[in-house]
Each structure stands twice: as C-alpha cells, then as structure tokens.
C-alpha cells in the first residue's frame, strides 16, 4: 500500500469535470433548444411566398437558423454529458479570484432603464447624453464635465446621423422645434 495522495486536478489546476456534466451548462443547452424552437415556431407563421427573384421565400433562413440552434443544443448536451467543459478565462487582465462587481452592474442597469423610461419624454439627445454619461460614471470614469461634453456630442451626433443619414427620426422630446 502506498501512502501517496493522488491529486485529481488537471494540469491547469482546475478540478476535474463532474460525472454527467455541469447543470449550468445543461441550462445553456435548454436555453439554446428553446430559442431554436421559438425561432422555428415563429418562422412557420411566416407565409410561404415565393417570386421569380426569391424562389426560396422568407421562411427558409429562420427555419435553418432555428434548426441549427436545436442541433447545437443537442450536440452541446452530448459534449457536456461526455465530460466536456469550457476553459476558464485566462486573460492577464482578468482577476479570476475576484467576485462580481454588482455595484457596477446595478448602476448600468439603472442607467439603461432610466434611458428607456425617459427617451419619449425628454428626447434622445437628453436621454442619450444621460445614458452615455451614466455609463461612463458606472464604469468608473470620474471626469464629470469632460464626460458630459462627450455625452452631449455623442447624443447630438447620433441624433443627426439617424435623421440625416438613415432617415430615422429619433424622439426630440422637450427639444422639439429646437433641433
């Protein structure tokens, strides 16, 4: 009898894969399968119309994509069941031991929700400036005045780029008649 203790870790230092796979990865498989099924069901509601310039019709691409999503889900589930798993991020700028920065996530969600709620009332230029400024703030930039100038420039530029370049009118809100 040997008194050696066998380390069951892989060469990268991560624990060995669990028997039968990881439940979170199976969750991804279920999500992909449901998404593929939803795409197929939605595509079946598209009328089958063909023409001389489009002999396939508008149904073909969504049906193919939905089928590929379902196939991908099945293949991924088989891989997970066989012990396959993704490798952890090995980027040099990522601290894998650190937890999630929930403050940043909550601030970003709040900024996006505020933009969605204010875009009709205040208009894109103001809500977009708040979106750009709030995102910079949430991500840690503390140059308030410079960020505000950049945010206003970005929102005005995108407002006019959509209006002039694409012919899409974004909401002007309280600045209606001024812009």
Distances (CA, A) of 74 to 18, 25, 62, 83, 87: 19, 12, 18, 15, 20
Condensed to tens digits (0 to 9), the pLDDT of residues 45-95 reads 988 887 878 788 888 999 999 999 999 999 999 999 988 877 766 666 766
Question: pLDDT > 90: what percent of the chain?
Answer: 63
- pTM across the whole model: 0.54
CA 137, 141, 145 angle in degrees (round to 5)?
Answer: 80
Phi, psi of 116 (to 5 degrees): -65, -35
Condensed to tens digits (0 to 9), the pLDDT of residues 21-51 reads 578 889 999 999 999 999 999 999 988 887 8
Residue 24 in tokens: 């979170």
Cβ(124)–Cβ(172) under 8 Å? yes
User: What pLDDT, on the 0 to 100 scale, is given for residue 106?
Assistant: 96
Q: Which residue from 127, 126, 151 is spatially nearest to 137, judged by alpha carbons?
A: 151
Buried b vs exposed e over 144-153: b needs ≥16 C-beta within 10 Å? Answer: eeebeebbbe
Residue 31 in tokens: 């999500």
Condensed to tens digits (0 to 9), the pLDDT of residues 155-172 reads 999 999 999 999 999 999
Could you tell me what percentage of the chain is helix, strand and coil, using 3-state DSSP and rounding each to the nearest 5?
A: 60, 0, 40
Q: Is the pLDDT of residue 3 over 50?
A: no
Average pLDDT of the residues in 102-111: 95
Residue 176 in tokens: 């209606």
Average pLDDT of the residues in 7-25: 59
Residue 47 in tokens: 């009328």
Measured in whole angstroms, the distance separating CA 133 from the mean position of its chain's CA atoms is 21
Average pLDDT of the residues in 1-21: 51
């Amino acid at each position: 009898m040997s008194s050696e203790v066998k380390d069951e870790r892989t060469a990268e230092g991560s624990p060995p894969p669990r028997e039968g796979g990881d439940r979170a990865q199976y969750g991804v498989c279920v999500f992909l399968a449901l998404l593929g099924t939803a795409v197929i069901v939605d595509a079946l509601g598209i009328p089958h119309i063909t023409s001389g310039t489009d002999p396939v019709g508008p149904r073909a691409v969504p049906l193919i994509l939905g089928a590929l999503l379902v196939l991908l889900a099945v293949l991924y589930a088989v891989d997970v069941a066989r012990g396959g798993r993704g490798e952890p991020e090995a980027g040099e700028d990522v601290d894998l031991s650190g937890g999630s920065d929930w403050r940043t996530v909550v601030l970003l969600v709040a900024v996006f929700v505020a933009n969605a709620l204010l875009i009709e009332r205040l208009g894109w230029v103001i809500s977009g400036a708040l979106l750009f400024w709030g995102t910079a703030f949430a991500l840690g930039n503390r140059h308030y005045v410079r960020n505000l100038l950049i945010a206003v420039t970005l929102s005005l530029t995108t407002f006019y780029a959509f209006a002039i370049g694409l012919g899409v009118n974004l909401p002007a809100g309280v600045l209606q008649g001024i812009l």
